[in-house]
Amino acid sequence: MVNAAPTPPPGTLGALVDGLFQTFQIDRIAGGRQHAVVVRENMREHPRTVRAFRRIRLLLVGETVVGLTAVVIAILLALDGVDLSWAVWFRSTVVLFITLSLYVFAWRAELGYYWAFARLRLFSRIFPVVTIVVASLPHLYPTWMVVEQYVFSALMVGVAVVLSGPHLREVFPVPPRRGPGPKPFVVRK
């Protein structure tokens, strides 16, 4: 039996945004051939799954605080007459946009979309590596921003650890390409 795609409660912001996702087929565009692969409801609503996504949201809130703090520090330093490089402005802005995109992936993954879980897991592994490498470049960033990047990376590693836990790996197994086998997913039509 094919279950309907999970939807947020009517009249909520989530329902409004979900409607936009459906109208503009964002899941289809972002998810590719796996856009309709959704985990079964009982797996999505399992208490351990709910707790895992709560932890992920808290870590993303930490990411947002780190990003906003970087922007505020940069603005205050600029107002105080400190000349900041383009890299500082670019980095402080990009962190916020990255974090906002991760919220979307976390939200869609929490609704059971495999594609969103896979993207969130991939980015939570790549971003810390890229951030540490860039932070290691000499004289690119002031010390406060290097520290900010390390904190950002630590929070992203936390997201990666939660996503790589045995329970979420069981909830979101890699979908088979075809053929018989266990069906932990439903395909939304």
pLDDT band (50, 70, 90) for residue 13? confident
Chain length of the chain = 189
pLDDT for 107-138, tens place per residue? 999 999 999 999 999 999 999 999 999 999 99
% pLDDT > 70, the chain: 88
Residue 181: is it exposed, middle or buried by C-beta count within 10 angstroms (0-12/13-18/19+)? exposed
37: β partners: 187
pLDDT at 79 over 80: yes
Q: What's the pLDDT score for residue 31?
A: 73
CA separation for the pair 129, 8 (Å, rounded): 34
HSE-up of residue 186 (Cα within 13 Å, Cβ side): 16
% pLDDT > 90, the chain: 63
The structure tokens listed for 13 are 């912001």
Q: Are 43 and 184 contacting, i.e. CB atoms less than 8 angstroms apart?
A: yes
pLDDT band (50, 70, 90) for residue 182? low
The structure tokens listed for 157 are 């590693």
Q: Are 104 and 31 contacting, i.e. CB atoms less than 8 angstroms apart?
A: no
Question: Quick count: other Cβ atoms within 10 Å of Cβ 35?
Answer: 19
pLDDT band (50, 70, 90) for residue 175? confident
pLDDT band (50, 70, 90) for residue 189? very low
Q: Are 70 and 92 contacting, i.e. CB atoms less than 8 angstroms apart?
A: yes
The predicted model gives 81-98 an average pLDDT of 91
pTM: 0.84
Max Cα distance, the chain (Å): 66
Helix pair angle (143-163, 114-135), 10° resolution: 150
CA separation for the pair 164, 148 (Å, rounded): 24
pLDDT band (50, 70, 90) for residue 19? confident
